[in-house]
């Protein structure tokens, strides 16, 4: 940081001492051959005895294995590496646990979703927990070689599991069922006391599977933490001094968006709120509601800075920016299956808002953020509203809305509901399949309002499957109550390419 005023002293050319250094005493004998040694050689001290690693004792039930690397973000956090063993000391906070590293004895807080109990199936590389069949196929096709596999919890049969295996360019699924004695089997003729034993058996030979199991498909997506750290989870008004703005990413109706860093450790997105764009009390009320919204497909609100203008809204940072920009650039290489998967992710986030009686009011590709591996999250809650007791929200007169994405009852009468968000989602689908084309090409906002009111609907974009266009038309029904729920849209999109023959039942395995 800056220049240092002092300069290094230069050693003389002959290698002599620098500055005024006392001459070293002569070792050995003096110049007189008959002189007595000035000082006898002393034996060297013994080398230090290696100190054993600190012994951390505790109940084995509280021993956990780190599934991911974690670098401490705050002073009371604990840094650890994947594979480290930790003794959990306090689990009273479900999201952040107090723990101790077995190797060093260091203590601190850790995100609870980064660890799993020792000897549990959650600690196995091949176990992926409660993920959908479509997600299993996606990760196997991305990560795997022939014979790559994972085990997940069964969607349709709670308590059972499914084995997903990559065979060439396809993925096969096998139900893992349980006997009355608790053992596991794929084929009834052979059962195993643990899932680990089952995996080991099918690694040795296929024994009726499509291929012998090879390397497990490991989880690469690091889970989100709840909040920035334990210290900020419930204290979300943070000091402005802890935020450093790095790079401006964009600007909009309510302010600017920056890439920033919190506490010198954690990359974040920072939204600055323009003075006069919203009453401070109204902003704080809505931010408090937004902080409670937690879903894997929603951008997480971490904290706010409201001590002075401009207000800061601190959220998670997504690597690839807005979906709209992504579709214009790297996303042009995406094909229909990937685009449908992204649509399903967005519908999943909106289904959660639907369940929470929350309406977005500005759902569009520009307000969806994209991370690694095409992970999509709904963001920009600048126009969002919690709907209490009623199913719709009436906007203030003079409020501005993006006409081409707005449902007719909202654009004409300022009446917003989750069903008007469904209309916007149908428009977003056209953005996806056209790689970010502006909706209603060649039409002005006034023409769109007039034509939609008369029953006009956008034609199917070129190359759009009829079944996908039907989903768009369902979203654009004139009567809001006839539009589908986001929950239904989610499963329709998730099942869009499902191969009903992809499961191999146990009795088909010889």
Q: How would you write 30-86 as a 3-class SS string?
A: CCCCCCCCCCCCCCCCCCCCCCCCCCCCCCHHHEEEECCCECCCCCCECCECCCCEE
Element containing residue 221 per DSSP (H, E): none
Task: Provide CB contacts within 8 A for 485, sequence distance 6+.
Answer: 351, 354, 418, 422
Alpha carbon distance 102, 125 (integer Å): 21
Token pair, residue 139, equals 């990760």
Task: Provide CB contacts within 8 A for 302, sequence distance 6+.
Answer: 227, 228, 232, 236, 262, 268, 314, 315, 316
87-111 in b/e form (b: 16+ CB < 10 A) is bbeeeeeeebbbbbbbeeebbbbbb
271 labeled binding residue: yes
Strands (E) located in 73-216: 85-90, 96-101, 107-111, 115-117, 149-153, 161-167, 170-178, 184-185
362 is known as an active-site residue = yes
362, 421, 495, 501: which is the annotated catalytic residue?
A: 362
Cβ(269)–Cβ(317) below 8 Å? yes
Task: Provide CB contacts within 8 A for 465, sequence distance 6+.
Answer: 336
Q: Which residues contribute to the annotated binding site for ATP? A: 271
List the catalytic residues. Answer: 362
């Amino acid at each position: 940081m800056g220049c240092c005023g002092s300069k290094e002293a230069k050693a003389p050319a002959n290698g002599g001492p620098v500055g005024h250094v006392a001459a070293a005493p002569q070792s050995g004998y003096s110049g007189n051959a008959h002189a007595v040694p000035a000082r006898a050689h002393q034996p060297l001290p013994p080398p230090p005895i290696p100190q054993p690693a600190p012994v951390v004792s505790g109940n084995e039930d509280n021993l956990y294995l780190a599934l991911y690397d974690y670098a401490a973000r705050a002073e009371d956090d604990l840094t650890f590496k994947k594979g480290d063993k930790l003794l959990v000391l306090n689990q009273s906070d479900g999201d952040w646990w107090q723990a101790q590293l077995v190797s060093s004895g260091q203590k601190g807080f850790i995100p609870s979703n980064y660890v799993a109990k020792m000897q549990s199936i959650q600690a196995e590389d091949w176990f992926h927990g409660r993920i959908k069949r479509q997600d299993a196929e996606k990760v196997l096709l991305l990560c795997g070689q022939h014979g790559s596999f994972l085990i997940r919890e069964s969607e349709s049969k709670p308590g059972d599991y499914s084995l997903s295996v990559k065979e060439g360019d396809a993925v096969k699924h096998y139900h893992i069922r349980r006997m009355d004695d608790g053992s596991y089997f794929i084929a009834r003729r052979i059962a195993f006391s643990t899932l680990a034993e089952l995996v080991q058996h099918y690694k040795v030979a296929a024994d009726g599977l499509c291929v012998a199991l090879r390397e497990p498909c490991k989880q690469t997506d690091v889970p989100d933490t709840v909040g920035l750290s334990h210290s900020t989870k419930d204290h979300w008004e943070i000091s402005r001094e802890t935020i450093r703005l790095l790079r401006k990413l964009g600007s909009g109706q309510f302010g600017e968006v920056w890439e920033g860093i919190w506490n010198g450790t954690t990359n974040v997105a920072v939204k600055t709120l323009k003075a006069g764009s919203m009453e401070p009390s109204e902003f704080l009320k809505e931010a408090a509601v937004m902080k409670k919204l937690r879903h894997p497909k929603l951008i997480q609100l971490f904290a706010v800075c409201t001590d002075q203008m401009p207000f800061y809204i601190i959220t998670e940072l997504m690597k690839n920016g807005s979906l709209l920009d992504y579709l214009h650039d790297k996303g042009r290489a995406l094909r229909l299956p990937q685009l449908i998967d992204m649509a399903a992710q967005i519908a999943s986030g909106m289904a959660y808002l639907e369940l929470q009686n929350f309406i977005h009011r500005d759902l569009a590709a520009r307000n969806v953020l994209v991370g690694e591996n095409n992970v999509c999250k709904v963001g920009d809650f600048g126009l969002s509203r919690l709907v209490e007791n009623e199913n719709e929200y009436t906007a203030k007169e003079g409020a501005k809305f993006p006409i081409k994405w707005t449902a007719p009852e909202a654009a004409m009468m300022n009446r917003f509901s989750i069903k008007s968000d469904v209309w916007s989602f149908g428009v977003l689908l056209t953005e996806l399949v056209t790689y970010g084309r502006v909706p209603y090409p060649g039409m002005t906002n006034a023409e769109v309002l007039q034509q939609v009111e008369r029953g006009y609907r956008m034609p199917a974009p070129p190359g759009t499957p009829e079944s996908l266009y039907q989903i768009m038309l369902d979203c654009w029904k004139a009567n809001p109550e006839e539009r589908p729920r986001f929950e239904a849209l989610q499963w329709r999109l998730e099942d869009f390419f499902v191969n009903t023959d992809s499961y191999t039942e146990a009795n088909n395995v010889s």
